[in-house]
Structure 1
Amino acid sequence: MSKKTEFALEMRKLRRRHIPILFLMVFVLITAWTYWCIDDLDVSRLNDVSAMVFTNLLLMNTILCPIVMAALASRMCDMEQMGNTYKWLCTMQKPEHIYRGKVMAGSFYILLFTLMQTVLFWIISQPYGAGVVSRLPGYFTTIFLTSLCIFILQLNLSLKFTNQLTPIFISIGGTFTGLFSWFLNRWPLRYLIPWGYYASLCNAGYNYDETTRYTTYYWDMYPFLWMAVLTAAIIILYRHGQKHFLETVRETI
């Protein structure tokens, strides 16, 4: 079976699962929050508005995206898990093709969601500096790779547990841990968990002067080393998840 067919079959299963609405609602929330931040601040006091927007968008993704990825993975697996339909599905598809189809479908939604956010970052930041275009690849890479890693992890958990509340609770715990990692930058926590990589791959930072109450934003080199670590984690999670799913299906059949 071709990859195109695997992808089409998985997308057909998701026709009435309202996945696009979920992503659209989160995108609207992120957009509203970002414009509120711009409107509420005196941007004339900021030395680099695009760095502030970059940081705030990644922080919002840390809060919202893990739950969205968990919901996406859960919606992909809940009917098959509760109905134990693997025996029938595997008469038409190989188990590894089913798993690959789910990953491709999830990656498609994540890709569209990331592109929408990248355009949002460009639209908001463009009036405040011409150099924002050079920051778009880094923003896209950070959101896409981190969200994909979390999605594959959540997919593996959703395929492992019949009760889909368990992966959701794990995602909530991971979200709080990832959020704390933003404020514990001297600790290596953000590099050890996938939820922390929105912060780990953020190459914008700031210094706050308590005396003047002035925040100075700055840009660093993109952390390619940690991007490579995250990419390796994605490959490992994918291979492990596919192998475990294959073993589970064989036991079921």
Structure 2
Amino acid sequence: MAGAFRIEVQKAHRRHDLLFCLLVPLLVMLWIGGISAPSQDELENAYSALFYSIPVANVLILPIVMAVLASRLWDMEVKGSTWKLLYTLQSRRSLFLGKALFGTMEVVFITFLEMGGTYLTGKIYGYTEEFPVNQFLYLTACTLMVELLIFFGAFLIMILTKNPLPALCAGIVASLTGLFSAFLPQIVSYFVPWGYFIPLSSYEVANWEQTTHTITYGTRPYNWGLLIFTLILIMILFYASWCRVQKQEV
């Protein structure tokens, strides 16, 4: 597996994956207005507004990003039709685990950069609201779990179809349906796993003053049950992908 992992690192270097991973958190922060300084009145509620907005941006952007990452991992195998050759030169287990591990590391890296960007944004603009450490850790865990869920879903589609187009199309559909589910009753969003960014969020709008356009945010209990269910779905998708690789003809 170590050899397969090194090969993935070399391929990622040629694909400029590092640049791609750096651009994704920047895109999310731009989407939620991270480059514009909040007004003085908004500084006292700035972290709450930021943590409320991040899941909405994630549900629209990250399904497509995860589909791109998963499809790029299999790009050479698909373009060169080298599946049969690779399975005779190395074990299926090493090839699969090398790709799965490298893809997971890329997802973790993107999550780390995005969450780090939220903290850095507050320092740059001088947010006066106290940094909510517990909320930050919970949001990080939820973001990572849902990203891995979407990634391994696209990973499985890529293995089944041996074509990057279905995975990318699925990412686009997941982005749109996930965002649409955010405007439906919460019970409906539970049936849209790729949109779990929002039902897992612990922030909600508590009050909106129409005359002053002032929004007050509140928090709700952590949704540990849904987070554990997300982890179970990740393991199911991982196992299904491995079973499919085992059954591929040589």
TM > 0.5:
yes
Deviation at 1:228, TM superposition (A): 0.2
Is contact 2:152-2:238 (8 Å) kept?
A: yes
Paired position in structure 1 for 2:155:
155
C-alpha deviation, 1:210, in angstroms? 6.1
Is there any run of 5+ residues in structure 2 with no aligned partner, and where?
none
Scaled by the length of structure 1, the TM-score of the pair is 0.88
Tell me, yes or no, if structure 1 residue 85 matches structure 2 residue 82: yes
2:197 & 2:85 partners in 1: Cα distance?
A: 39
* Change beyond 3 A, Cα 1:198–1:79: same
Moved more, 17-26 or 233-242: 17-26
Q: Does 1:197 align with 2:196?
A: yes
Task: Kindly provide the CA deviation profile for residues 93-149 of structure 1, in whole angstroms up to 9, marking residues without a partner as x.
Answer: 221321221111111111111111111112234533224222221121111111111
In 2, Cα distance between equivalents of 1:190 and 1:211: 28
Question: 2:44 touches 2:129 (CA, 8 Å); kept in 1?
Answer: no
**Percent identity, aligned pairs only?**
26
Give the superposed CA RMSD.
2.1
Distance 2:104 2:34 in 1: 30
CA offsets 1:186-208 (integer angstroms, 9 cap, x no match): 14332222321111211111134
- How do 1:116-155 and structure 2 match up within 5 A? 116-125=113-122, 127-155=127-155
Give 3-state SS (helix, strand or coil) of 2:234's partner: helix
For 2:144 and 2:34, locate their aligned partners in 1 and report how far apart those are by CA, in whole Å.
24
Confirm whether residue 238 of structure 1 aligns to residue 235 of structure 2.
Answer: no
Q: Distance in 2 between matches of 1:123 and 1:78?
A: 35
**Alignment-derived partner of residue 104 in structure 1:** 101
Q: Distance in 1 between matches of 2:216 and 2:176?
A: 27
Q: In structure 2, what is the equivalent of residue 94 of structure 1? A: 91
Aligned to 1:176: 176
Matches within 5 A, 1:201-216: 201-209=200-208, 212=211, 213-216=213-216
Distance (whole Å) between structure 2 residues aligned to residue 230 and residue 94 of structure 1:
30
CA distance in 1, matches of 2:79, 2:35: 43
Distance 1:25 1:65 in 2: 12
Instruction: Give the SS at the match of 1:30.
Output: helix
Secondary structure, counterpart of 2:221 in structure 1: coil
- State how far apart, in whole Å, the 1-side matches of 2:35 and 2:49 are: 10
- Return the alpha-carbon distance in structure 1 between the equivalents of residues 93 and 140 of structure 2: 29
The whole-number CA distance in structure 1 between the counterparts of 2:188 and 2:78 is: 33
In the TM superposition, what is the alpha-carbon distance from 1:35 to its structure 2 partner?
4.1
Query: What SS does structure 1 have at the residue aligned with 2:197?
Result: helix
Distance verdict in 2 for CA 1:28–1:92, change over 3 Å: same
Q: Is the 8 A contact 1:50 1:125 kept in 2?
A: yes
Which residue of 28, 31, 53 maps to 1:30?
Answer: 28
- Structure 2 counterpart of 1:237, which letter? L
Compute the displacement of 1:154 (Å): 0.3
Equivalenced residue count is 246
Is 1:58 the counterpart of 2:55? The answer is yes
SS at match of 2:163: coil
